[in-house]
A = this chain, B = another copy of it.
């Protein structure tokens, strides 16, 4: 098997390049799959950090490549144009490398909006996709994980966007988790058909006819119980749900901290809830594999992000165009 080739934006994220590089080194020990990494960022800084971390020139050879990027994206810049204006920034360059066929997937902990517009304008969307979505797997007490989308790329959604998320989520989970017919649900404030907004009523009607796995509404309380395999919502509600559920692990740790003798034993049991285990989340609907890592990602989170990228490349689950019935899909 040829090694999987990844581009990683080393400049973004709240914790600095050292944490990211350590995450990459940690990932080596976690997978048997060979992979090479293109490190996008300030070449000189990356070089000296690698030296500090004890990675010699010969260790690097054929496994770690430095891609010099000189520009930085500042928070105020218009997100839709930044992919062109800051082509020499690490976040944009990591996507460009994918377009050039140099890598199979890219990972960045940078701004969601910047990364999404780079993905849309550089790699393009799958046919029929109006709005690509950021999707996250959540741990559940059910048999398997649940895919939640959108989790922050599309804050205001119209009916057709929600329907598109449902179809993309269905297609992705079917391949990625190898389920024959994933259960798709729409997030709502109640499961009764009379509760919710007009947008949700219409999306429900369309999904019922267009999406094989559509199973109705789901409440916030049902998501982590694994009541559905795919949960569809706008990016605002999804972001709130994702981040709230991520806060449960530190919350439990803090509550148990008063009894340290219990804490360790328990936290091992609750480890499924640890957000560090879920390193990065994919954009669905993009012609390529672009993963978004949390801004606050730790070393372990980056290591897991790399595993997620490798898995995505191997399973081809993001190649939605390959899914029967998808190509012909036309949404208003």
Chain A interface residues toward B at CB < 8 A: 75-76, 141, 152, 155-156, 187, 189, 192, 194, 196-197, 219-225, 233, 235-237, 239-248, 250-252, 254-256, 258-259, 262, 265-266, 269-270, 272-273
Residues from chain B with a CB closer than 8 A to the CB of A235 are: 189
Least distance between A260 CB and chain B CB atoms (Å): 11
A221 in complex: contacting residue of B221, B244, B273, CB < 8 Å: B244
- Residue of B whose beta carbon sits closest to that of A296: B221
Inter-subunit contact B247/A256 (CB<8 Å):
no
A-B pairs, 10 with minimum CB distance: A220-B243, A221-B243, A220-B240, A220-B244, A141-B254, A189-B239, A221-B247, A244-B244, A248-B248, A224-B247
Cα distance A152–B220 in the bound complex, in angstroms: 12
Cα distance A222–B239 in the bound complex, in angstroms: 12
Least distance between A162 CB and chain B CB atoms (Å): 13
Cα distance A194–B256 in the bound complex, in angstroms: 36
Cα distance A256–B76 in the bound complex, in angstroms: 46
Given the contacts A244-B220, A245-B244, A256-B266, A236 and B237 also touching, CB distance less than 8 Å: yes
Cα distance A233–B239 in the bound complex, in angstroms: 13
Given the contacts A247-B220, A247-B225, A255 and B269 also touching, CB distance less than 8 Å: yes
A189 in complex: contacting residue of B155, B194, B247, B273, CB < 8 Å: B155
Residues from chain B with a CB closer than 8 A to the CB of A269 are: 255-256, 258-259, 262
Given the contacts A189-B239, A237-B236, A244 and B262 also touching, CB distance less than 8 Å: no
Inter-subunit contact B241/A244 (CB<8 Å):
yes
Cα distance A245–B242 in the bound complex, in angstroms: 11
Cα distance A250–B227 in the bound complex, in angstroms: 14
Inter-subunit contact A219/B243 (CB<8 Å):
yes
